[in-house]
Structure 1
């Protein structure tokens, strides 16, 4: 069948790559796509992916039978609603379900109603009240803009002065409407861990956990980013914690079936903190993670198109997930200056050489093709180099070996992806 993937990042390259490998895929479109997807799919750079009617018109014109929505913004904008109403299968929740990510207040209230363990919180439209609640909680405290803020708008404040400044920044209009409501919550402690699940008809088919590295620099220093590297599974997660996370994800899936007007059909991403009291939910996302997708999908042995279509059609009983008994480690290569200002259009060399290493896949994120077919940088996170290995150490070593083969001016990456987890749980002071 003909399939359309919406998005342009490493997550979408990973999705498109697995879709392209399926014998069930005929024509594959990626809108807008990137320099990597251009090699095996038709990029559609002119399509406005947050415009449901425009996406629908394209899908009808090109006889697309399945649309896979990558980023959160089209989901919150209701693109899935427009497609489903027209009878086109779509992987991704409708606008109501996407509010689990689109509004932190909506999400926290959902957790509260359904007994999902999470941090104590308050939601505010007034700066003075928000500051007062932060004072009541005491530092450290977390301040979040309620809406989508392009990965920004979240501050872990070490002092009350920092918390007050973060609250004032939100209400100043720095994040537009996303900051019109502010969530203030207690700061949980412990390692963070992500668990993604395919959700349909109130069932959660959980994937292996993954652990992202958000900070820009080694030793978890520097500003937060979209993610500088990831691995899956997570060696520090105990069997009891794994079972608890799976129970919580199923609990959340059942709640979507009870509460939402339409069936939640897509990925539910649970961002957990492994606290001394057990796993607690930091946040939900309504789509695949990035770079989690780049380390989870390479281990999936089930045909991804079969899974995506079964979810989109509300057939979870038809899904049988099979996973490779291997470790996956992904290292992000970023532009100099990221997550701040950075240059674009710099030539990239060595991707093919890196991809020739056994078990290595080079996923493109911020890349583009020149008129003569050359590959250049086009974003902050440029590439994610993922390696599979029979052991955690093998996967890490292979990923970093591949990274040395790729060159572009100003290339930066963290050399310690997975290093802390390799030392064990005591590396988190436990």
Structure 2
């Protein structure tokens, strides 16, 4: 088999690594890939990013399976185009991708199908939004309606902070159109969990749970990022929580997908909040999470490629998805100044052999040398019988990596 992975982050590096484990896979292409994916067994980076170029490449090279990392391309309808041309691809249709592409749509979907979620209002006018915010109880959550690279959610503690966020989203337009429409949502007190899942439109198989650490600084302080680290499984996702999640969130979501006649054969990522009043749905993502993928996939015991084929062919009901025992911890190293502004082009050096797995995100290879090219530069995933062992491996390894301005949180999993 020949497999095409689309994207350039740590998530895609993890996908390349997992796909290459399958003995039937002869070649993995990553478009455009990064300095880590190109070092993986069987992998070749392809410097293309546009849907039409990717489609031509897949047809010309007789790609057997395509896996899409990028939410932007899913929202733009890449799955519909590939399927129209007889290609097998893992991902939701353009219609189904609205579950991530529009926060307002996903909230309306949740409401329609009785999925437990926070109270909310949708606004496209900043004056009306501000009038509403004057009467709100704080904290309050403001979300950009469209895609914002994981940074379009702000928790506001008072009206001054809320007004500033409205200015950023709707007036200054920092998300280039994605924040012109917003969702103002009730703040839920509790612990967040991420549950990646795979669906063929008839069955949803949840993966093991994980816990992302979104904010830039220790103690969950500072602005939201794309994710600064993950542990899996999430220690707060006990049997009761998972049963409630399945009954009140997962199953009603599946009903909604079927009732809305969505063509959905791909990943569905549930962001949930575990509160004293039960489990609530926060959001959907329609693709693999980053960095959740880097923590979850290394614990998958079942063959990943076989799982993907089962989803594409509609046979998930009979798939026996199994997991390794133990825990994982992925710690992310970022460029100084991320998520606001940062410099790139710094050489990355590895001082000693790593025990864990290094996943490259924002780095490229130049003449055999890895150099930083993004905000989140790399992640290291440690695996252990206990969470403490997994954390120790990840943090011990992180001390062996060096680049100018390197920053990482020291409390992932605490």
Question: Post-superposition shift, 1:101?
Answer: 0.5
Question: Post-superposition shift, 1:211?
Answer: 0.3
**Among 385, 389, 397, the residue aligned to 1:394:** 389
Question: Post-superposition shift, 1:137?
Answer: 2.8
2:147 equivalent to 1:148: yes
Contact 2:16 2:30 in 1 (8 A): yes
Corresponding residue SS for 1:338: coil
> Which contiguous aligned blocks of 4+ residues in structure 1 show a shift greater than 4 angstroms?
none
Matches of 2:21 and 2:399 in 1, distance apart? Answer: 27
Contact 1:138 1:160 in 2 (8 A): no
Contact 1:145 1:178 in 2 (8 A): yes
Question: Post-superposition shift, 1:351?
Answer: 7.4
Partner of 1:20: 20
Question: Post-superposition shift, 1:170?
Answer: 2.0
Partner of 1:122: 121
Contact 2:113 2:255 in 1 (8 A): no
Question: Post-superposition shift, 1:74?
Answer: 0.5
Say which is worse superposed, 333-342 or 59-68, in terms of deviation: 333-342
Matches of 1:375 and 1:71 in 2, distance apart? Answer: 23
Partner of 1:427: none
**TM-score, normalisation: structure 2:** 0.96
Matches of 1:280 and 1:404 in 2, distance apart? Answer: 37
Corresponding residue SS for 1:369: strand
Across the aligned residues of Structure 1 and Structure 2, the Cα RMSD in angstroms comes to 1.3
Say which is worse superposed, 130-139 or 88-97, in terms of deviation: 130-139
Partner of 1:239: 239
Partner of 1:408: 403
2:45 equivalent to 1:61: no
Q: Deviations over 1:282-331 (max 9, x none)?
A: 11111111110011000001111111111122221242111001100110
Say which is worse superposed, 14-23 or 234-243, in terms of deviation: 234-243
Question: Post-superposition shift, 1:398?
Answer: 1.2
Say which is worse superposed, 157-166 or 97-106, in terms of deviation: 157-166
Partner of 1:363: 359
Question: Post-superposition shift, 1:236?
Answer: 2.4
Contact 1:203 1:254 in 2 (8 A): no
Matches of 2:134 and 2:312 in 1, distance apart? Answer: 45
Q: Where in structure 2 are the equivalents of 1:228-267 lying within 5 Å?
A: 228-247=228-247, 248-260=249-261, 262-267=262-267
Relative to its length, the structure with more strand (as a share) is 2
Q: Deviations over 1:90-131 (max 9, x none)?
A: 111011111101000110000000110111011111112222
Q: Deviations over 1:366-414 (max 9, x none)?
A: 11100x2111111111111001100111111111111111111221111
2:379 equivalent to 1:384: yes
In structure 1, list runs of 5 or more residues that go unmatched: 420-430
Contact 1:196 1:209 in 2 (8 A): yes
Contact 1:257 1:264 in 2 (8 A): no
In structure 2, list runs of 5 or more residues that go unmatched: none
Partner of 1:424: none
Q: Deviations over 1:315-362 (max 9, x none)?
A: 2124211100110011001111111222212111117711xx2xx111
Matches of 1:150 and 1:309 in 2, distance apart? Answer: 28
Aligned residues: 410
2:196 equivalent to 1:196: yes
Corresponding residue SS for 1:177: coil
Matches of 2:351 and 2:310 in 1, distance apart? Answer: 34
Q: 1:206 to 1:352 in 2, by over 3 A?
A: farther
**TM-score, normalisation: structure 1:** 0.93
Partner of 1:48: 49
Partner of 1:282: 282
Matches of 1:329 and 1:344 in 2, distance apart? Answer: 26
Corresponding residue SS for 2:208: coil
Matches of 2:8 and 2:252 in 1, distance apart? Answer: 32
Contact 2:352 2:400 in 1 (8 A): no
2:280 equivalent to 1:297: no
Corresponding residue SS for 1:268: strand
Partner of 1:169: 168
Contact 1:141 1:187 in 2 (8 A): yes
